[in-house]
A and B are shown apart, each in its own frame.
Chain A
Amino acid sequence: MTAVDDRPQAASTHEVGRDRRRKEDQRLITGRTKWTDNHVLPGMLHLAMVRSPLAHARITGIDTTAARQAPGVIAVLTGEDVKDLQGSLPCAWPITEDQKAPPHPAIAVDRVAFSGEVVAVVAARSSAAARDAAELVDVDYEDLPAALDLRASAKDDILAHPDLGTNRSATWVFDSAEAGTGSSVEDAIAAADVVVEREFRQQRLIPAFMEPRSTVVDPTGEQFVMWSATQVPHILRLMLAMTLGVDEGKIRVIAPDVGGGFGGKLQVTPEEIITFLVARHTGKPCKWTETRSESLLSAHHGRDQWQKLTLAAQADGTVTGLKVELLADMGAYLGLVTPGVPILGAFMYNSIYKFPAYHFSCTNVFTNKTWTDAYRGAGRPEATFAIERIMDELALELGRDPMEVREQNWITHEEFPFTTVCGLEYDSGNYEAATERAKELFGYDELRAEQQRRRESGDRVQLGLGISTFTEMCGLAPSRVLGSLNYGAGGWEHASVRMLPTGKVEVITGSSAHGQGHETAWSQIVADQLGVPFEDVEVLHGDTQISHKGLDTYGSRSLVVGGQAVINAAKKVIEKARPLAAYQLEANPDDLEFRDGKFTVKGAGADQEGVGLAGLALAVFAAHDLPEGMEPSLDADATFDPVNFSFPHGTHLCAMEVDTETGATTMRSYVCVDDIGNVVNPLIVEGQVHGGLVQGIAQALWEEAVYDDQGTLVSGSFVDYTLPTTADTINFVTDRTTSPATSNDLGVKGVGEAGCIASTPAVVNAVLDAIRQFGVKDIVMPCTPERVWRAIQDGTAGAMSETAGAAAGHFAEGEPNQDPPGAGAAPAAGTTQEGGQA
């Protein structure tokens, strides 16, 4: 590791930085845990959903007679039965004032807008009885034309929601000239020596978390209790209250152990509302657990965009402007943060580069498909993919090495803090250091030489090298910024630290772990802060009656926001204990110092005993002898709202071998050097990076949600939706450089999404690098063997088309820069290599 910042590290580092084995894993691995579906309550009913097989249809009749008469069935409810109770599912992020959206019913009432939408629910004594009876619900549909293709839908050829009058929900624009953060892109394009214009496709993906969604509602107590496999118990509770008109105080939401989410459980789902309604209707506890097919079909999907980029540059390779125009597929409805997902990428297309001019616009479009929403990285993988693909294209136009062109344009480490063309302040980073380390581990120059040899010898298997130098903004917060983006909530996080009379510590966090290892990391942090053993810290979360306040886990925010809240609460505990310690030591509070769990008097020598926090906690519990006016409690709460995002970055290098006869691709080497600031637990970080890499690589090579021309999801099982396993991946080489974040005490940045954000373009750039020699210009993801083979065949035949027609507007007649790109593109002599090697 290369330390590149000499700011002081967090004060005590006994636990922070250790590769502690996760304390939650014993329970999880041995199965001594409770997922939502494990909950069994007396008299509990089981629910099964009846779903529309059609993408767009009017419901002309529902006959529930046979289902009601089926064995074990207690209730069958249709949209008609609940239409006045169910409200409309919430969207917390209307991106513009005039955003258009249809009502979003939990159960469709008279029309279905995607295949998989719930049209009725059956409650029965067993899940088998419920499923059997669900098949007996007889629904009559009258087919309506379905809007399926994103680009056609943007033209309103077929309306996904006829009453809305258009498929275009909203258009969101950022322009650096208008915002005063940069100059005009149109001017940059007009004056450019080189203009590169490309269109990329972000295919539709499915989050595919390991634990299927499940919800249990118990209506038999004073409060409705909902257990749910959710990332967001606090937001869910608030939204249930607002959607259903139930007092917030009468709802308790519990997220027990949750098996992964990747954004897929950052949602308020129709099924949660329905389970609540049926429990209230029947007066019995109700459980719904989805099948994998249901999950793939109806849990929200991710990505699905067309991205058009125009990059303007000088002949020497200096980029002068970037214009980004997106079409984003919302699917049939707006979920919790659906419209905001592409906007989360808006400030990231300029990435690590010093572009002086930037324009971003995104049009959100409805189609008759499952709605999209957050998926690991949310907006930032799209941005990283597009910019890293087009930086390669620029290098290609210039006939330069792609790393060299990046280096020429990126922010050098001396330039931090750096205010970007979007107005974000990048607090720290060192792209040179990460890149140098990555190249060294990768053997960049040797691989380039091998690539050349293979090309020359006409090897059947060609080698390609792909680069992705990425950054991301993470740790959602700050509330002020979210407010300026019309987001419906803040981005703070809450924590409490409770000192128990035995000296043990309870930490209550508003973050809601679902696989991240917060229990371990928070214990490490608190152990250092309070000087108590790691084992003595108990972390509680995910139950709104225990953790009454919080904004949950997504957007790589837990450590940088929630972790800091924990630190702040721990610091308050120390300050609350200080007067009591001074009282016991008969010293002035200001003369005390707190270290390794005890207060001592400054300058009184190393042999003094001092008083320990555990003893003080017991004294406070007894409260027999406290200083005058002291409240008998050391417990403290803190709510933290950061002033800035954190900006992890890194350099990812990928070598792909492509069999030119079959199109099969094999990963030869993958190296990533990430700078995520200081690290609390390197083992957890390694796990996050590996998982993220695989998810990003999967977008590049394997995964895609495919609909047929009737709007049926045909990749609705793991036979067709090819989720990778360890057998499909190689050993990754990972390392880190460290530029601590300045926005929190630990100097940490988020890592939950980094691997997923960075890896996709590295892989696709590598595949293309191997086969561009055959005339291939692009391959739409996922780069399956068939697509690679076809690209080679088409390219060899000279049939591969340039970026076509409407996508290449700047090459239209009368537009500037009509010279063939090669003419003005020769690298100028004496090109300045900005930054250089660290």
Chain B
Amino acid sequence: MAMELHHTFTVDAPPEATWALLTDLEQVGGCFPGATVTSATEEEFTGNVKVKLGPIGVTYQGEGRFVERDDEAHRAVIEGIGKGLRGLGNASARVVLQLEPEGSGTQADVVTSLTITGKPAQFGRGVMQTVSDKLLGQFVECIEGKLTS
């Protein structure tokens, strides 16, 4: 199953600060619900993420890296690939992040192209959008917490 997810959120922090945080892979990773970053450098990270999609709980173990990063334009493309534990199939994602100033804060546009195989695709497709919206909500809350504290 391949799908594209669009999300937009705003945080109450200037673009530079937001950019610095969102490109700090260890910090960002830690904000994603269920995710653990096991190692991270400037360009790449490894880790795992645990997701529940309807009746299927799956842990993806994988790695990600910047394929594009423009610190001036605040645009980044990140690719990640994860292997589902317990033979549950793979997931891969390509995330395009674009920050724009929005008043005193920042608007972030995130476009995620997601490809999922195996049981999560079979049983989880009906809830994918809802789950990802919810996860992003929690993610944004965490990011905002880090920026404003």
Looking at B19-27, B100-108, B115-123, the stretch in contact with chain A turns out to be: B115-123
Q: Which B residues lie within 8 Å of A589 (CB)?
A: none
| CB <8 Å contact, B121 and A134 | no
B interface footprint on A674-693 (CB within 8 Å = 1, 0 otherwise): 00000000000000000000
The interface size bin for chain A is 20 to 34
**CA A55 – CA B86 in complex, angstroms?**
17
Interface residues of A in 120-137 (CB under 8 A from B): 134-137
Q: Which B residues lie within 8 Å of A714 (CB)?
A: 1, 121-122, 125
| CB <8 Å contact, B117 and A53 | yes
Q: Which A residues lie within 8 Å of B86 (CB)?
A: 135-136
**CA A88 – CA B81 in complex, angstroms?**
34
Among A136, A143, A708, the most chain B Cβ lie within 10 Å of the Cβ of: A708
| CB <8 Å contact, B125 and A708 | yes
Given contacts A137-B87, A143-B90, A717-B123, contact A709 B1 (CB under 8 A): yes
Which residue of the partner chain, among A50, A51, A709, A716, contacts B2 with CB atoms under 8 Å? A709
For the A-B complex, the count of residue pairs with Cβ-Cβ distances under 8 Å equals 53
| CB <8 Å contact, B117 and A710 | yes
Q: With an 8 A cutoff between CB atoms, is B142 at the interface?
A: no
How far in angstroms is the closest Cβ of chain A from B115?
A: 6
Q: Which A residues lie within 8 Å of B83 (CB)?
A: 140
Interface residues of B in 1-28 (CB under 8 A from A): 1-2
Which residue of the partner chain, among A50, A708, A716, contacts B1 with CB atoms under 8 Å? A708
**CA A53 – CA B2 in complex, angstroms?**
15
Q: With an 8 A cutoff between CB atoms, is A476 at the interface?
A: no
| CB <8 Å contact, B117 and A135 | no
B interface footprint on A546-566 (CB within 8 Å = 1, 0 otherwise): 000000000000000000000
How far in angstroms is the closest Cβ of chain B from A49?
A: 10
| CB <8 Å contact, B84 and A53 | yes
Given contacts A141-B90, A143-B90, contact A54 B117 (CB under 8 A): yes
How far in angstroms is the closest Cβ of chain A from B90?
A: 7
Q: With an 8 A cutoff between CB atoms, is A616 at the interface?
A: no
Q: Which B residues lie within 8 Å of A137 (CB)?
A: 87
| CB <8 Å contact, B90 and A54 | yes
How far in angstroms is the closest Cβ of chain B from A709?
A: 5
| CB <8 Å contact, A139 and B87 | yes
Q: With an 8 A cutoff between CB atoms, is A315 at the interface?
A: no
Q: With an 8 A cutoff between CB atoms, is A713 at the interface?
A: yes
Q: Which A residues lie within 8 Å of B88 (CB)?
A: 53
Q: With an 8 A cutoff between CB atoms, is B62 at the interface?
A: no
Contact residues of A: prevailing secondary structure: loop
| CB <8 Å contact, B87 and A712 | no
Q: Which B residues lie within 8 Å of A140 (CB)?
A: 83
Q: With an 8 A cutoff between CB atoms, is B89 at the interface?
A: yes
Nearest-neighbor residue (CB-CB) of B116 within chain A: A710
Interface residues of A in 683-708 (CB under 8 A from B): 708
Q: Which B residues lie within 8 Å of A53 (CB)?
A: 84, 87-90, 117-119
Q: With an 8 A cutoff between CB atoms, is A370 at the interface?
A: no
A interface footprint on B63-92 (CB within 8 Å = 1, 0 otherwise): 000000000000000000001101111100
Interface residues of B in 93-149 (CB under 8 A from A): 115-119, 121-123, 125
How far in angstroms is the closest Cβ of chain B from A691?
A: 28
**CA A712 – CA B88 in complex, angstroms?**
12
Q: With an 8 A cutoff between CB atoms, is A115 at the interface?
A: yes
Given contacts A53-B118, A712-B117, contact A135 B87 (CB under 8 A): yes
Interface residues of A in 701-755 (CB under 8 A from B): 708-714, 716-717
**CA A713 – CA B1 in complex, angstroms?**
10
Interface residues of A in 209-256 (CB under 8 A from B): none
**CA A716 – CA B83 in complex, angstroms?**
21
Nearest-neighbor residue (CB-CB) of A712 within chain B: B121
| CB <8 Å contact, A51 and B125 | no
How far in angstroms is the closest Cβ of chain B from A58?
A: 13
**CA A710 – CA B84 in complex, angstroms?**
15
Nearest-neighbor residue (CB-CB) of B118 within chain A: A53
Nearest-neighbor residue (CB-CB) of B89 within chain A: A53
Q: Which A residues lie within 8 Å of B2 (CB)?
A: 708-710
Q: Which B residues lie within 8 Å of A135 (CB)?
A: 86-87
Nearest-neighbor residue (CB-CB) of B115 within chain A: A710
**CA A709 – CA B118 in complex, angstroms?**
12
Q: Which B residues lie within 8 Å of A143 (CB)?
A: 90
Given contacts A53-B117, A710-B116, contact A134 B122 (CB under 8 A): no
**CA A51 – CA B84 in complex, angstroms?**
13
Among B1, B83, B88, B117, the most chain A Cβ lie within 10 Å of the Cβ of: B117
Q: Which A residues lie within 8 Å of B123 (CB)?
A: 717
Q: Which A residues lie within 8 Å of B84 (CB)?
A: 53
Q: Which A residues lie within 8 Å of B119 (CB)?
A: 53
How far in angstroms is the closest Cβ of chain B from A752?
A: 32
**CA A137 – CA B84 in complex, angstroms?**
12
Q: Which A residues lie within 8 Å of B121 (CB)?
A: 708, 710, 712, 714
How far in angstroms is the closest Cβ of chain A from B61?
A: 10
How far in angstroms is the closest Cβ of chain B from A108?
A: 13
How far in angstroms is the closest Cβ of chain A from B87?
A: 6
**CA A135 – CA B123 in complex, angstroms?**
17
Interface residues of A in 262-293 (CB under 8 A from B): none
B interface footprint on A50-66 (CB within 8 Å = 1, 0 otherwise): 11011100000000000
How far in angstroms is the closest Cβ of chain A from B96?
A: 20
Among A53, A136, A143, the most chain B Cβ lie within 10 Å of the Cβ of: A53
Interface residues of A in 443-477 (CB under 8 A from B): none
Given contacts A53-B117, A54-B117, A115-B117, contact A712 B122 (CB under 8 A): yes
How far in angstroms is the closest Cβ of chain A from B121?
A: 4
How far in angstroms is the closest Cβ of chain A from B56?
A: 11
**CA A143 – CA B90 in complex, angstroms?**
10
Q: Which A residues lie within 8 Å of B125 (CB)?
A: 708, 714
B interface footprint on A124-166 (CB within 8 Å = 1, 0 otherwise): 0000000000111101110100000000000000000000000
Among B2, B90, B115, B121, the most chain A Cβ lie within 10 Å of the Cβ of: B121
**CA A137 – CA B83 in complex, angstroms?**
13
**CA A139 – CA B88 in complex, angstroms?**
10
How far in angstroms is the closest Cβ of chain A from B63?
A: 14
| CB <8 Å contact, B90 and A716 | no
Q: Which A residues lie within 8 Å of B122 (CB)?
A: 712-714, 716-717
How far in angstroms is the closest Cβ of chain B from A52?
A: 8
Interface residues of A in 485-517 (CB under 8 A from B): none
**CA A716 – CA B115 in complex, angstroms?**
18
Nearest-neighbor residue (CB-CB) of A719 within chain B: B123
Q: Which A residues lie within 8 Å of B117 (CB)?
A: 53-55, 115, 710-712
**CA A819 – CA B86 in complex, angstroms?**
63
**22 residue pairs A–B, Cβ–Cβ below 8 Å:** A51-B87, A53-B88, A53-B89, A53-B90, A54-B89, A54-B90, A54-B117, A135-B87, A136-B86, A137-B87, A139-B87, A143-B90, A708-B1, A709-B1, A709-B2, A710-B1, A710-B2, A710-B121, A711-B117, A712-B1, A712-B122, A713-B122
Closest 9 CB pairs of A and B: A53-B118, A53-B89, A135-B86, A712-B121, A708-B1, A710-B117, A716-B122, A53-B117, A709-B2
| A143-B90, A712-B89 given; 9 more Cβ-contact pairs under 8 Å | A50-B87, A53-B87, A53-B89, A710-B115, A711-B117, A712-B122, A714-B121, A716-B122, A717-B122
